[in-house]
Each structure stands twice: as C-alpha cells, then as structure tokens.
Amino acid sequence: MTKPQTFLALNWKMNKTPSESVQWAEDLLGQLGDLNIKLAIMAPSVSLAGLSGVLGDSQVGLGAQDISQHDSGAYTGEVSAAMLKDLGVKYAVIGHSERREYHFESDAVVAAKAAQAIKNGIVPIVCVGEKLSEREAGEQVSYTLNQLRGSLAGVSIQSADDLVIAYEPVWAIGTGKTATAQDAEDMCAEIRGVLKELYPAFAKQIVVQYGGSVKPDNIQEICGKPNVNGALVGGASLQVAGVTGMVDALK
C-alpha cells in the first residue's frame, strides 16, 4: 500500500492580524524550496482574502478554521462555504476541540459542517480526540471512534481527497505533552478501521493527521508511522522557522 502524500496543515488559531499574515506568508514563500509534501495555512476568516492574494497558485494551500453548516441567510457572524470558496479556500478545520468545548459544537453539527464543506468543494479536516479523563480511564479508543462516527454521520465522499481526519488528543494540545509516535499510530490505525467501514473504496488513501504539540524535532517520527499521514500543527506553525523546520524534517 502506498501512503497518501504527507499533509502538513498549519492551524494559526486566533493569531496574527491580516497584515501580519500577509507579511508572514511572503516570508514563508521566500524561504520554501520545492515541497515534497502538501502544506496549507488555516487562517482566521479576516485574513483569508489577503492570504489568497499572496498564496495564489503557489504550493501553499489556503484553509479556514470553521464554516457555517448553513448555505446563507440570517446567521449573524457566520461565514459560509460559498464565501470561502470564492476566496480560493481549499480546506476547513471542522470540529476542532476548541470549537467543541467553547462553542458547544456537537458531533451532529460537525457532521453538518463537513457535509457542507464537501458540497462546496472544500476539504474538511474533521478533528476528533479524547480528553485526559478518557485516556486515564482507558476509554480513548471507544470515545474517539464514537466521536468519529458521529462527526461523519451522513457525510459522503466521491474520492479519498474529499476528506481529511485529524486525531488530536485534547491533553496534548498546547501542553507540550505529545502522544508518543506509537500512541498516534495506534489511534490513527483505529480511525482508519472505521474509515474502511464507512468508505471502503477510499479509506487507504484518506489522509489521517495527528495533532498535539507537533514540532520540528518530533514530526518526522510521528509522520513516519504507517497510518499517520501528516500533522495539524498549532504553536509551532506561528513562526516561519518552525514551519521550515518541520518541512525540512520531513525531507
């Protein structure tokens, strides 16, 4: 089985102003050589238009951090998939644990958003992962797979490229505690097992990322595992040097 191409997605979260984003992207493009991986920036909505102008058709893709599950209309503050598509957005992080926790997004909402993204030609990066309490109780696999099934309920795809899954154990996000590469592999293999049930024709080629305190010195070991096809990176994605360090580590 050939692995899908490694996909490194940079989740800036709520960081950088629009003008800082543009400057940062220009710096990154100036320092990147030819890439052997897929790379994309997941930026705050207000920065997407500026970034779209800088990134254009470069080898760095553009992504959002959320989308509305609705097409259009009276949803104050929301941003639709069609609006994002119009800006050249290719990806959207969906169901990040911070949105699940602080914005009370249920699995059903996550699934509706993922379907909405796919309907509009945007690839959802659907996030799942257990909290520390589930891991300490030894329930991380059942919890995460249950969340995965709920977050993909009614979501259909036409090719392996239509969907990305990110396994992000909540206890490893922003804490400096990384799951071991073997922990990441074990859960990503479980996730792929569910994908085989849901999407038998495509499961082997669907990108499954790991996220949680990934940085230049651990990315290679994690992404070297058979069922881990890339990373969703927060903190280490904020500095250009962090990104070039990770890109180099994957060469």
User: 103 catalytic, yes or no?
Assistant: no
Q: Which of 117, 214, 219, 250 binds ligand 13P (CB under 6 A)?
A: 214
In degrees, to the nearest 5, what angle opens at C-alpha 9 toward C-alphas 18 and 192?
150
Residue 10 CB, nearest approach to ligand 13P (Å): 9
Three-class secondary structure of residue 77 per DSSP: coil
Residue 171 or residue 199: which is nearer to ligand 13P going by CB?
171
Residue 170 CB, nearest approach to ligand 13P (Å): 9
CA atoms of 225 and 185, how far apart (whole Å): 6
By CB under 6 A, what part of segment 2-61 binds ligand 13P?
A: 11
Residue 19 or residue 180: which is nearer to ligand 13P going by CB?
180
CA atoms of 93 and 65, how far apart (whole Å): 5
From the list 60, 63, 80, the residue with the least C-alpha distance to 72 is 80
User: 96 catalytic, yes or no?
Assistant: yes
The answer to whether 213 contacts ligand 13P (rule: CB under 6 A) is: yes
The answer to whether 211 contacts ligand 13P (rule: CB under 6 A) is: yes
Q: Find the Cα–Cα–Cα–Cα dihedral 182, 189, 63, 54, rounded to 10°.
A: 60
Three-class secondary structure of residue 11 per DSSP: strand
Residue in 96, 134, 185, 190 annotated catalytic: 96
DSSP, res 189: H
Binding piece for ligand 13P, criterion CB under 6 A, among 20-28, 99-107, 114-122, 206-214:
206-214
Binding piece for ligand 13P, criterion CB under 6 A, among 54-62, 114-122, 150-158, 210-218:
210-218
Rounded to 5 degrees, what are φ and ψ at 128?
-140, 160
The answer to whether 117 contacts ligand 13P (rule: CB under 6 A) is: no
Binding piece for ligand 13P, criterion CB under 6 A, among 54-62, 70-78, 166-174, 196-204:
166-174
Residue 48 CB, nearest approach to ligand 13P (Å): 17
Maximal C-alpha separation, the chain: 48
Residue 165 or residue 232: which is nearer to ligand 13P going by CB?
232
Element (H or E) spanning 207, and its range?
strand 207-211
CA atoms of 65 and 103, how far apart (whole Å): 13
Structure tokens at 244: 């070039």
CA atoms of 3 and 139, how far apart (whole Å): 28
Q: In the block, which residue shows the tokens 């881990």?
A: 228
Binding piece for ligand 13P, criterion CB under 6 A, among 71-79, 112-120, 191-199, 228-236:
228-236
* 194-to-113, 168, 190 alpha-carbon distances in Å: 20, 16, 7
By CB under 6 A, what part of segment 66-105 binds ligand 13P?
A: 96
Residue in 98, 130, 134, 168 annotated catalytic: 168
Q: Which of 48, 112, 163, 232 binds ligand 13P (CB under 6 A)?
A: 232
Residues forming the active site:
96, 168
Query: Where along the sequence are the contacts to ligand 13P (CB under 6 A)?
Result: 11, 96, 168, 173-174, 211-214, 232-236
